[in-house]
């Protein structure tokens, strides 16, 4: 077993911020951008450590305590076991790099800087689950997608991959990475969610048992297979071991992707400065007051009592000059437009909720109706749990957290006032909302 390579890891579209207790397990250490080169990857990590049989890696993944990094933190070994139980040769293994969340860049960054770690993980997960088919589902406008064919050809030439990997493009839509939407798209249909059960591990791509893992989860799995569970657990907390990739959106507008041990103080990742609130877990996540965030660590255990969770690792510090209510209203409008339009409560309810929030936030050009708060809470209750997927619950969680955390702003807005000094949008939404029907 070899230890983690020490050193900071920061990557992203903007300049790295100050380093703290960050690790470089997945991403190359700062200043090294060699990891998309196959020879350098093999030099750093060695060959793919196949186990030579279905299920053999699963006890190690279980002992490591690896959980999914795509948002739900579900124990990875349980999905591997469920799919492996279908018997060898029937299942499909899919690496999920749809990254539909506009605020997240971690999967794109990982695939750009360490693609071979993801591809090793996909092979190893396919072997463990007894899958006969391996697919990488990649956001079609991602910068990482362009080089994948070259990486796969090189791996094939070196005889690294035991099963050929197909690359399936994902539409750049918020829901495209939801696992039943993924299964539909990889089966040749539209990337639309469907009612469950059956879950995709029972009936997924082409009706076959399907293992869907986020690409970051696969990269961790590739390292567990090389270094073992104890090495993995040397970072993180006993309940939530390992590291995770976070997309950090600082109040000054800079955006970076950092790898941090789970349990790292939020204050060492985000400059909380004079900011008012922090968004944790992205657009299906929750706002927490900056004063609370200062004492919080990067763990679901600490976040859940605040109604938040790590999700796929988006952390955003709201600048002091913006209105959290207006930011939430803008994102809620985007989320309402991203409804797949299949389930009545979601199709009708989310736009209503988003319109009421826009009215409250002063974006509708009129003073809010006094009944807007009770209306919002009633409509939120009507959409929750009424859809094929979790989009309504996630959206409602995000909005409720805003009404809680920005209660003072809500009172101001009800009087027709807003304290924001800047109306420049902070949280990203795609330019021009996706009102088209392109789900392929």
Ligand X SMILES: Cc1cc2nc3c(=O)[nH]c(=O)nc-3n(C[C@H](O)[C@H](O)[C@H](O)COP(=O)(O)O)c2cc1C
Q: Binding residues for ligand SF4, per CB under 6 A?
A: 175, 193, 339-343, 346-347, 387-389, 391-392
95 binds ligand X (CB under 6 A): no
168 binds ligand X (CB under 6 A): no
281 binds ligand X (CB under 6 A): no
CB of 114 to ligand X, least distance (A): 16
Angle at CA 433, nearest 5°, toward 69 and 374?
Answer: 80
Retrieve residue 6's tokens.
Answer: 């020490």
Residue 212 touches which member of ligand X, ligand SF4, none, C-beta under 5-8 Å by kind? ligand X
175 binds ligand X (CB under 6 A): yes
Number of residues lying near ligand X (CB under 6 A): 21
In this structure, how many other beta carbons lie within 10 angstroms of the beta carbon of residue 358? Answer: 21
Query: Residue 136 or residue 389: which is nearer to ligand SF4 going by CB?
Result: 389
363 binds ligand X (CB under 6 A): no
185 binds ligand X (CB under 6 A): no
359 binds ligand X (CB under 6 A): no
Place of tokens 């003073």: 367
Residue 346 touches which member of ligand SF4, ligand X, none, C-beta under 5-8 Å by kind? ligand SF4
CB of 403 to ligand SF4, least distance (A): 21
C-beta of residue 125 within 8 angstroms of C-beta of residue 96 = no
CB of 94 to ligand X, least distance (A): 8
96 binds ligand X (CB under 6 A): yes
How far apart CA 66 and CA 124 sit, in angstroms, is: 14
Query: Residue 84 or residue 357: which is nearer to ligand SF4 going by CB?
Result: 357
In this structure, how many other beta carbons lie within 10 angstroms of the beta carbon of residue 307? Answer: 16
Taking CB under 6 A as the binding criterion, the range among 96-104, 227-235, 367-375, 430-438 that sits at the site for ligand X is 96-104
Taking CB under 6 A as the binding criterion, the range among 67-75, 114-122, 257-265, 274-282 that sits at the site for ligand X is 67-75
Query: Residue 129 or residue 192: which is nearer to ligand SF4 going by CB?
Result: 192
Angle at CA 13, nearest 5°, toward 151 and 434?
Answer: 85
CB of 316 to ligand SF4, least distance (A): 23
If DSSP codes are grouped into helix, strand and coil, which group holds residue 277? strand
Backbone angles phi, psi at 314, to 5 degrees: -85, 125
Place of tokens 């392109």: 438
How far apart CA 227 and CA 50 sit, in angstroms, is: 13
Taking CB under 6 A as the binding criterion, the range among 4-12, 52-60, 63-71, 343-351 that sits at the site for ligand X is 63-71
Q: Distance between terminal CA atoms of the chain?
A: 43
- Binding pattern to ligand X, positions 198-217, x when CB under 6 A? --------------xxx--x
Taking CB under 6 A as the binding criterion, the range among 93-101, 109-117, 313-321, 395-403 that sits at the site for ligand X is 93-101
C-beta of residue 164 within 8 angstroms of C-beta of residue 134 = yes
CB of 400 to ligand SF4, least distance (A): 17
Retrieve residue 25's tokens.
Answer: 């397990």
How far apart CA 426 and CA 437 sit, in angstroms, is: 27
Retrieve residue 61's tokens.
Answer: 């993944």
DSSP label at residue 283: G
How far apart CA 200 and CA 184 sit, in angstroms, is: 10
**Residue in 100, 192, 94 with CA at minimum distance from that of residue 135:** 94
391 binds ligand X (CB under 6 A): yes
Query: Residue 44 or residue 386: which is nearer to ligand SF4 going by CB?
Result: 386
Please name the residues in contact with 234: beta carbons below 8 A apart, sequence gap of 6 or more: 3, 4
CB of 314 to ligand X, least distance (A): 12
CB of 388 to ligand SF4, least distance (A): 4
How far apart CA 36 and CA 93 sit, in angstroms, is: 22
CB of 103 to ligand SF4, least distance (A): 18
- Binds ligand X (CB under 6 A): choice among 28, 65, 68, 275: 68
179 binds ligand X (CB under 6 A): yes
Taking CB under 6 A as the binding criterion, the range among 175-183, 250-258, 403-411, 421-429 that sits at the site for ligand X is 175-183
Angle at CA 417, nearest 5°, toward 415 and 419?
Answer: 140
DSSP label at residue 265: B
177 binds ligand X (CB under 6 A): yes
Residues in the chain: 440
Residues that bind ligand X (CB under 6 A): 68-72, 74, 96, 98-100, 175, 177-179, 212-214, 217, 389-391
């Amino acid at each position: 077993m070899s230890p983690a390579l020490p050193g900071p890891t920061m990557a992203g579209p903007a300049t790295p911020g100050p380093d703290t207790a960050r690790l470089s397990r997945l991403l190359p250490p700062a200043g090294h951008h060699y990891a998309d080169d196959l020879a350098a990857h093999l030099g750093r990590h060695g060959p793919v450590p196949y186990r030579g049989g279905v299920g053999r890696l699963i006890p190690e993944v279980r002992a490591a305590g690896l959980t999914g990094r795509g948002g739900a933190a579900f124990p990875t070994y349980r999905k591997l076991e469920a799919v492996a139980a279908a018997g060898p040769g029937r299942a499909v293994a899919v690496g999920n790099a749809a990254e539909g969340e506009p605020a997240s860049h971690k999967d794109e960054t990982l695939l750009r800087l360490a693609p071979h770690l993801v591809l090793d993980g996909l092979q190893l997960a396919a072997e463990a689950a007894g899958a006969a088919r391996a697919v990488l589902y990649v956001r079609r406008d991602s910068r990482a997608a362009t080089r994948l064919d070259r990486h796969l050809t090189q791996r094939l030439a070196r005889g690294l991959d035991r099963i050929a990997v197909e690359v399936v493009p994902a539409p750049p839509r918020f829901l495209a990475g939801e696992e039943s939407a993924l299964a539909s798209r990889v089966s040749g249909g539209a990337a639309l969610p469907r009612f469950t059960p059956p879950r995709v591990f029972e009936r997924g791509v082409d009706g076959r048992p399907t293992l869907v893992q986020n690409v970051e989860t696969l990269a961790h799995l590739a390292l567990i297979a090389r270094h073992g569970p104890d090495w993995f657990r040397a970072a993180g907390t006993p309940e939530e071991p390992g590291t995770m990739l976070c997309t950090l959106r600082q109040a000054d507008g800079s955006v970076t992707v950092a790898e941090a041990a789970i349990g790292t103080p939020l204050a060492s990742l985000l400059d909380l400065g004079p900011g008012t609130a922090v968004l944790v877990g992205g657009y299906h996540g929750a706002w927490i007051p900056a004063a609370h965030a200062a004492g919080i660590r990067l763990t679901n255990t600490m976040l859940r009592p605040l109604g938040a969770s790590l999700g796929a690792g988006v952390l955003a510090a709201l600048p002091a000059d913006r209105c959290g209510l207006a930011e939430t209203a803008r994102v809620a409008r985007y989320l309402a437009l991203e409804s797949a339009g299949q389930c009545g409560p979601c199709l009708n309810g989310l736009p209503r909720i988003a319109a009421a929030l826009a009215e409250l936030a002063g974006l509708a050009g009129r003073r809010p109706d006094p009944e807007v708060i009770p209306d919002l809470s009633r409509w939120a209750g009507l959409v929750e749990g009424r859809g094929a997927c979790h989009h309504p619950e996630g959206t409602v969680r995000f909005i409720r957290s805003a009404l809680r955390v920005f209660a003072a702003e809500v009172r101001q807005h009800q009087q027709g006032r807003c304290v924001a000094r800047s109306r420049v949008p902070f949280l990203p939404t795609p330019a021009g909302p996706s009102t088209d029907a392109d789900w392929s």
